[in-house]
Chains A and B, each alone.
Chain A
Amino acid sequence: MKNIWTIAKREYDLYFISPVAYVIAFVMLFFLGIVFIFGVLSATQNPYGGGQTPDLRMVNVWFGYLLIFGAPALTMRLISDEIRMGTMELLLTAPIRDSELIIGKWLGALFFILSILALLLIYPIILNFFIVDPGIDQMLMLSSFLGMILLASTFLALGIGISAMFSNQIAAFFVTLFLFLGLWFLAGVPAFFITSGADFFRFLQFGTHYETIIGGTLNVSDVLYFVTLTVLGLFVGTTAVEMRRWN
């Protein structure tokens, strides 16, 4: 257990000297800031008098889209860098389990995303205290943050799983990216053609589950979907490291 923290801490610290991580954090905060401002403006300044309550739904949706690109960039080097530097030999001969290595690295990346999410908390706070009267829907807010955390956890776990299979980080990046794009946008497509299994394909889709949760509906099946994929990603990563030993 302690080993996981040791590894997670190093990975987390490493992001703060990594240009890629800064770019991702900057793009996310900057872009989501714009989405937020437009959201607020269009709700409050609508000349046709919509009278809508501004909410965070668009920010949360775009967080997901940005993470499709951001997560592969954060995970691509997690294992391949160790291989490139030869430090994998050090980690694989240290008294830590392969699973501890993978979980530690995943947690390090997850903490980085959580740090970004902590900064994003500023938006609901602004809405709650300055714009929306008598305050925003707290349950919706909690549910959407849970959704974002689950999404990040899943993306990063799948990302590290793939990263462990590739010695080359560019390859790891693109494979991860295409997997995410596929699972987000394409997995549901067969549902249009195959009527009998339509529900199954729709179930595979990231977007459906994510949008349900950030929409404020918390179903066990949606949470389970993300948890299962997270475990799967970590399992694939651990297996890939074990396979490397057998080579």
Chain B
Amino acid sequence: MIRVSGLTKQYGARRAIDNLTFEAEQGEVLGFLGPNGAGKTTTMRILTGYMPPTDGEAIVAGFDVVSESLEVRRRVGYLPETVPLYTDMTAFDYLKYMADLRNLPTAENRVDEVLEMVGLSDRGSGYIGNLSRGMRQRVGLAQALLHKPEVLILDEPTVGLDPNQVVDFRKLVRDIGKERTVLLSTHILSEAQHICDRVLIINKGKIIAEDTPENLQARLVGGEKVSLRVRGDADGLEKVISKVKGTKEVTMKDSNTAEFEFAPGNDIRPEVAKTIIKEGYDLLEMRAVGMSLEEIFLELTNTEVKKKK
């Protein structure tokens, strides 16, 4: 469980995060989205007891991050952004060291377990310096899981993972997120869509949106969007679609694919289909495309910029 209220961090004259307030419940995966310099890492560092905030309060796993920092650190698993590893140790020894620092009773068994969880059972005896980047990332993740933390905080955890690993990772995080609290940051918005129960978009240290991925989408998209593909070159397709009453924002995605939008509740797809067939095009496909989180994200951060100006 994470409760943050009025959290502010000032680095000299720069305000990295500004009056953040949010919560994450047990059994929830909260995604932290934001462009570079938004303040994601700063927030996570405060929540993990790495550094105190300038102002505001944060309760993690029931303890205050400033006055009960050690209690918080006992209950939090943290994968920092620049995965910190001792390259001169083997993966096993490294994890054993971290397990010992947490006074885990059967450290060796637990290390074997987490190595298994991240798919590195066969690399435990190899030096970390000789592991690939993605494997190191997984060793870092294993470290965060060692003590079965109540709260898991992951700073850009999938950077450097191959697609197979990303799939495994998502499954792992979703499993963990069923019982515990997970906060993860990412730039990859489709990832948040896949893993997170709720997303929190922050920009320049401020929260600019907070909702489930689905709701965010619904809230932002004024209409429904459809993609349509025909056989062969589609000269003039754009114009033909535009002629149908109710179509908006018609664009060609490539030579034979067009996209258009229409207002919700005014489904004009049958008319569009009839029209283009009548015009002699071979219709291959017509499907609804949701507005991706990428677009939502760009929209949100850009309106923020525009408002400032």
A interface residues, Cβ below 8 angstroms from B: 2-3, 6-7, 10, 14, 17, 85-97, 245-247
Chain B residues numbered 20-59 whose CB sits less than 8 Å from any CB in chain A:
45, 48-52
The reply to whether A85 and B98 contact each other, CB–CB distance below 8 Å, is no
Contact A95 B50 (CB under 8 A): no
Q: Given A3-B101, A6-B101, A87–B85 Cβ distance below 8 Å?
A: yes
Q: Is chain B's interface secondary structure helix, strand, loop, or mixed overall? A: loop
Q: Beyond A89-B80, A246-B51, A246-B52, is A94–B101 a contact (Cβ under 8 Å)?
A: yes
Cβ B98 vs Cβ A94 within 8 A:
yes
Bound-state CA distance A93–B77 (Å) is 9
Rounded to whole Å, the gap between the CB of B37 and the closest CB of chain A is 17
A86–B85 Cα distance when bound, in Å, is: 8
Residues 102-142 of chain B, each 1 if its beta carbon lies under 8 Å from chain A, else 0: 11000000000000000000000000000000000000000
Q: List B69-99 residues whose CB lies under 8 Å from chain A.
A: 70, 73-74, 76, 78, 80, 82-88, 97-98
Q: Size band of the B side of the interface?
A: 20 to 34
Closest to B47 in A: A93
Contact residues in B for A92 (Cβ distance below 8 Å) = 49-50
Asked whether B100 is an interface residue with its Cβ less than 8 Å from the other chain, the reply is yes
List 22 A-B residue pairs with CB atoms under 8 Å apart, sorted by A's residue number: A2-B103, A3-B101, A6-B101, A7-B101, A85-B84, A86-B80, A86-B84, A87-B84, A87-B85, A89-B45, A89-B50, A89-B82, A91-B101, A92-B49, A92-B50, A93-B49, A94-B101, A95-B73, A245-B50, A245-B51, A245-B52, A247-B51
Within the complex, what minimum Cβ distance (angstroms) separates A172 from chain B? Answer: 20
Tell me if B88 and A93 are in contact (CB < 8 A): no
Cα separation A89 to B100 with both chains bound (whole Å): 17
Chain B residue at smallest Cβ distance from A101: B101
**B86 neighbours in A (Cβ, 8 Å):** 85, 87
A87 to B78, CA, bound (A): 12
A93 lies within 8 A of B52 (CB) = no
Which residues of chain B are within 8 angstroms of A94 by Cβ–Cβ distance?
Answer: 73, 98, 101-102
- Which secondary structure dominates where chain A touches chain B? helix
- Chain B window 221-254, contacts with chain A (Cβ cutoff 8 Å), 1 for yes, 0 for no: 0000000000000000000000000000000000
Query: What is B's interface to A at a CB cutoff of 8 Å?
Result: 11, 45, 48-52, 70, 73-74, 76, 78, 80, 82-88, 97-98, 100-103, 143
Residues in A whose Cβ lies below 8 Å from that of B88: 14, 17
CB-defined contacts of A3 to chain B, threshold 8 Å? 101, 103
One of B50, B70, B87, B143 near A97 (C-beta < 8 A)? B70
Most buried by B among A10, A91, A94: A94
Q: Which has the most chain B C-beta neighbours within 10 Å: A14, A93, A97?
A: A93
Give A245 to B65 CA distance when docked, in angstroms.
13
B143's nearest neighbour on chain A, judged by CB, is A90
Q: How far is the CA of A3 from the CA of B143 in the complex (A)?
A: 17
From B45, B82, B84, B102, give the contact of A95 (CB < 8 A).
B102
